[in-house]
Amino acid sequence: MSKSIDSNKQFMIGNGLLAFGVFFIVSLFFYLGFRYQRKDGQPQAFEGQYTLQLTPALAGDSLAVYINDSLIVCHTFDASETKVQVRRFAEESMLMVVDQRTEDVTPFNLHPKGSLVSIGKKGGRIFIEEKAAVR
């Protein structure tokens, strides 16, 4: 008779520890989810900006330039150098240059604080070079 009492006691202790573990995990997820909430009425803003230099080597190419999922520039470039300045709007950003004719995508991870980026073409391939990162 005492053996069945011990197994019931162990079962209840195990269930209690499992319930405590579930409570801890749920509390941890709530804490992590709400710790970076912004205040009501305040827009989220990021410091820094990206300057994109599109070199004259791109003359005659039809390109689409995206940062994350936002279209920045989409047209056929002439022989002049084009500069585009974009304020940072996300914590991490990716620059994607799409050649409209061949549909080749050239991705590039941008510096988290903003930077000066040169986009050019050598040997029929698009290259992206980060010239200076803002400190």
Residues in CB range of 99: below 8 A, 6 or more apart = 61, 62, 63, 106, 126
**Helices (H), ranges, 35-117:** none
Which pLDDT belongs to residue 28? 95
Instruction: Map tokens 């053996």 to a residue.
Output: 3
CA distance 60 to 75: 10
100, 113, 115, 71 alpha-carbon torsion, rounded to 10°: 20
**pTM, entire model:** 0.63
- pLDDT category of residue 42 using cuts at 50, 70 and 90: low
